[in-house]
């Protein structure tokens, strides 16, 4: 008797069906991954047509150039005093400064007053004195801050000013208000620098020299004017300050107040010291600074001499190139109107703006 053939197990058929279904599902998922495009978040996408531009920054431009200068000094001067006695006190020392309106010495019990009058005093001055020497004294009193008019008459205002100096500087309890010439040490400038001392404290003093001082600064001359400087009226400026002075057509500066500031400057003293090899320098600047706009060099096109073009608000604009420094170009817009931004790279084929 033959046995009936055994039917294949149901487990195998089920497994085969399941595997087939998984393959189909997986294949569909893979196909789905392959056909779905990658999406970039809108927040990360910039406008496709945006023009690359950069903000225009405006600033003052004085085209400061450092220029070496040569000082012109008068010969050294020996300061003399008409008083006599024993020198009891002296501020004299090589390199020391004696300023007008100070008291640098005492003879016996009489303090000395230093004054830089443009006319050396030659007589005693008192109320009712008149003359050029009185006017010279008044000009120096005014420079020292006193309310005095240089009218050449030794009036009440002059007496009050002299009395104030005698009280505050000389320490006189009862200032006379008159000015004895023997009590005045004449200075050739408001501030002088001592080179040597002619008299020593404790020694008899018989109306001779007290100290020798360096020559007075009469002028400074620019050695070489920069040829590529921005056109315009120029002044010189003391480095690190706002003190300026006009420059003559011959390149010489003669402004007295400016020269006094130069004389008191440490850089000048160093340039005059023994062994100094470098000249003093001053800033050579535009008298009226320009208002310029700063743009990237790549924003310019159509360069010709000192003119160029930029693109702003989609249209070409003419500019004048003033200078360039550290990867920036300083320009002025010819029509006087400064845009907020300019194209960083001008479009290809940009037309001339002039």
pLDDT band at 305 (very low <50, low <70, confident <90, very high): confident
pLDDT band at 350 (very low <50, low <70, confident <90, very high): low
- The count of domains in the chain is 3
pLDDT at 273 over 50: yes
Helix (H) / strand (E) containing 301: strand 301-304
**Using CA atoms, how far apart are residues 216 and 194, in angstroms rounded to an integer?**
11
Token duo for residue 253: 């500066």
Domain enclosing residue 195, as ranges: 77-213
pLDDT at 32 over 50: no
pLDDT at 51: 61
**Using CA atoms, how far apart are residues 176 and 179, in angstroms rounded to an integer?**
8
Strands 113-115 and 184-186: parallel
Percent of the chain with pLDDT over 90: 67
The mean pLDDT value for 251-274 works out to 90
**Do 188 and 244 belong to one domain?**
no
**Do 223 and 162 belong to one domain?**
no
**Do 295 and 279 belong to one domain?**
no
**Using CA atoms, how far apart are residues 298 and 292, in angstroms rounded to an integer?**
17
Single residue among 185, 213, 241 that ends a domain in this structure: 213
Q: What does DSSP assign to residue 48?
A: T
Task: Tell me the whole-structure pTM to 2 decimals.
Answer: 0.63
Single residue among 241, 262, 286 that ends a domain in this structure: 286
CB 294 within 8 A of CB 79: no
The mean pLDDT value for 150-174 works out to 98
pLDDT at 43 over 60: no
Of the candidates 97, 331, 351, 349, the residue with the CA atom closest to the CA atom of residue 213: 97
**Do 166 and 230 belong to one domain?**
no
* Structure confidence by residue, pLDDT tens digits, 82-95: 999 999 999 999 98
Which phi and psi (to 5°) does residue 71 adopt? -80, 145
**Do 124 and 206 belong to one domain?**
yes
Token duo for residue 264: 């008191």
Is residue 14 included in any domain, yes or no? no
pLDDT at 346: 80
Single residue among 264, 286, 308 that ends a domain in this structure: 286
CB 101 within 8 A of CB 159: no
pLDDT at 37 over 70: no
Burial track 110-149 (b if 16+ CB lie within 10 A, e otherwise): ebbbbbbbeeebeeebeeebeeebbbbbbbbbebbebebe
Token duo for residue 2: 């033959």
């Amino acid at each position: 008797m033959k046995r009936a053939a055994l039917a294949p197990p149901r487990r195998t058929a089920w497994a085969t069906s399941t595997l087939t279904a998984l393959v189909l599902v997986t294949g569909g998922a893979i196909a789905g991954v392959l056909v779905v495009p990658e999406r970039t978040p809108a927040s990360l996408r910039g406008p496709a047509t945006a023009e690359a531009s950069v903000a225009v920054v405006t600033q003052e431009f004085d085209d400061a150039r450092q220029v070496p200068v040569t000082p012109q000094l008068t010969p050294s001067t020996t300061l003399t005093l008409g008083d006599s006695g024993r020198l009891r006190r002296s501020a004299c020392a090589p390199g020391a400064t004696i300023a007008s309106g100070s008291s640098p010495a005492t003879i016996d019990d009489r303090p000395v007053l230093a004054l830089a009058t443009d006319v050396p005093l030659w007589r005693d001055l008192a109320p009712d004195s008149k003359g050029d020497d009185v006017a010279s004294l008044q000009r120096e009193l005014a420079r020292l801050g006193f309310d005095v008019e240089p009218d050449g008459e030794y009036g009440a205002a002059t007496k009050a000013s002299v009395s104030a100096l005698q009280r505050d500087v000389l320490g006189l309890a009862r200032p006379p208000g008159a000015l004895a010439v023997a009590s005045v040490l004449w200075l050739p400038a408001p501030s002088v620098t001592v080179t040597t001392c002619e008299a020593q404290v404790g020694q008899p003093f018989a109306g001779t020299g007290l100290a020798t001082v360096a020559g007075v600064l009469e002028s400074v001359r620019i050695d070489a004017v920069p040829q590529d400087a921005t056109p315009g009226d120029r002044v010189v400026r003391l480095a690190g300050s706002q003190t300026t002075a006009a420059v003559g057509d011959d390149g010489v500066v003669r402004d007295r107040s400016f020269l006094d500031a130069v004389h008191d400057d440490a850089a000048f003293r160093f340039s005059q010291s023994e062994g100094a090899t470098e000249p003093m320098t001053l800033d050579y600047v535009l008298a009226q600074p320009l208002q310029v706009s700063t743009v990237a060099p790549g924003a310019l096109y159509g360069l010709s001499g000192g003119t160029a073009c930029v693109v702003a608000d989609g249209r070409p604009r003419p500019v004048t190139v003033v200078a360039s420094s550290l990867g920036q170009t300083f320009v002025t817009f010819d029509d006087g109107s400064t845009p907020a931004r300019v194209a960083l790279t001008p479009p290809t084929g940009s037309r001339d703006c002039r």
